[in-house]
């Protein structure tokens, strides 16, 4: 059941991605309505897929990277729909929906059978959920950063094209960037703490400095510096955009590390 809904979701997100990308270069109200509708339908089937899997699947007690990525993708769409509902910002979909699709396709490609773990790993759900919520924050900051740099470049080079007219004001994107990190950072912090506690239960040590944990800590430290720099010495605007893009690269590397590990544990 869950698998069917999952596949349907993937198809819908794919269609939404194509039509949202077309919106970047075309002005068409019908196209944006279409994009939004299939995204919303996709979100509904995604929700069903996640819930049924949680209730019936093996993921209930200890989620795999597959579930984590699927949840990440679902959260991204949720954030997009929320921002869209409040600000009518269709163009955000052209950036977030493709990211959600990539994340969902990666989830599909990764093993969804959970490596057997001790029952004490029940806290893992908390760890994965919090870390993924933090990551969603960083992903939105990343998207806001990319959009910021594009709009900054268009304004500087005076290229007033379709994309220029669709992208919002620079300070809106900068605010979105800031809010995403302000929300994402504490969530990731809690995610890392609960992860360390889970590890302590499972293995008897909080950290064992595997590449994935190291990267997670480096990323955390990086965002800490970015956040402090922003609030104290004015690392905003263009600099913040660049930093959050670099930071998100760190996040992606961490996730790749987790993914490789999960492949390893399957074989």
Partner 1 sequence: MHIVVVGLSHKTAPVEIREKLAVPESRLGEALNRLCGYSGIKEGMLLSTCNRVEVYAVVEELEAGYSRIQEFLADAHLSVSSEQLTPHLYWQTGDRAVAHLFRVACSLDSMVVGESQILGQVKDAFEMALTHKTTGLILNKVVKKAITVAKRVRTDTRIAETAVSVSYAAVELAKKIFSDLRDKTVLLVGAGEMAKLAARHFIASGVRHVRVTTRTPQHAVALADRFSGTAVPFEQFREEMAAADIVLVSTGAAHYLVGSDDVQRAVKQRMNRPMFLIDISVPRNIDPAVRHVDNAFLFDIDDLKFRVEQNRGGRLQEAEQA
Residues in touch with partner 1 (CB under 8 A): 151, 155-156, 158, 160, 164, 167-172, 175, 233-239
CB of 142 to partner 1, least distance (A): 19
**Least distance (Å) from partner 1 to the CB of residue 76?**
23
Please identify, using beta-carbon distances, which residue of 4 and 162 lies nearer to partner 1: 162
DSSP label of 123: G
Asked whether 104 and 10 are in contact (CB, 8 A), the reply is: yes
Q: Which CB atom, from 10 or from 241, has the smaller least distance to partner 1?
A: 241
- Nearest approach in angstroms of CB 170 to partner 1 is 5
Nearer of residues 55 and 155 to partner 1, judged by Cβ: 155
Residues 247 and 145: their CA atoms lie apart, in Å, by: 11
How many whole angstroms separate alpha carbon 162 and alpha carbon 28? 11
Cα 31 to Cα 37: distance, rounded to the nearest angstrom: 10
Cα–Cα dist 134/125, whole Å = 14
Give which of 84, 48, 53 is closest to 68, Cα–Cα.
Answer: 53
- Environment class of 248 (CB within 10 Å of its CB; exposed 0-12, middle 13-18, buried 19+): buried
**Which DSSP letter does residue 116 get?**
P
- Tell me how far, at minimum, the Cβ of 190 lies from partner 1, in Å: 29
Q: What's the closest the beta carbon of residue 160 comes to partner 1, in angstroms? A: 6
Taking the least distance from each CB to partner 1, the nearer of 159 and 203 is 159
Could you tell me the two tokens for 44? 């509904």
Which CB, 175 or 212, lies closer to partner 1?
175
């Amino acid at each position: 059941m869950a698998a069917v809904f999952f596949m349907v979701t993937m198809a819908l997100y794919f269609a939404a991605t194509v039509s949202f990308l077309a919106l970047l270069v075309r002005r068409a109200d019908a196209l944006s309505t279409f994009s939004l509708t299939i995204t919303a339908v996709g979100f509904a089937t995604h929700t069903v897929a996640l819930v049924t899997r949680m209730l019936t699947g093996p993921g209930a007690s200890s989620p795999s990277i597959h579930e984590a990525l699927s949840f990440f993708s679902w959260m991204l769409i949720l954030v997009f729909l929320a921002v869209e509902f409040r600000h009518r910002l269709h163009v955000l979909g052209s950036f977030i929906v493709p990211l959600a699709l990539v994340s969902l396709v990666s989830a599909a490609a990764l093993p969804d059978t959970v490596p057997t773990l001790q029952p004490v790993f029940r806290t893992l759900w908390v760890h994965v959920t919090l870390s993924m919520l933090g990551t969603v924050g960083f992903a939105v900051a990343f998207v806001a950063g990319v959009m910021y740099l594009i709009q900054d470049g268009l304004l500087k080079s005076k290229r007033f094209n379709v994309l220029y007219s669709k992208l919002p004001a620079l300070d809106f994107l900068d605010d979105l960037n800031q809010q995403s990190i302000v929300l994402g950072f504490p969530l990731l912090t809690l995610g890392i703490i609960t992860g360390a506690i889970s590890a302590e239960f499972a293995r008897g040590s909080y950290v064992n400095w595997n590449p994935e944990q190291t990267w997670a800590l480096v990323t955390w430290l990086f965002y800490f510096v970015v956040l402090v720099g922003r609030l104290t010495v004015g690392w905003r605007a263009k600099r913040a955009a660049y930093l959050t893009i670099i930071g998100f690269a760190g996040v992606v590397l961490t996730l790749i590390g987790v993914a490789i590990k999960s492949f390893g544990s399957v074989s």
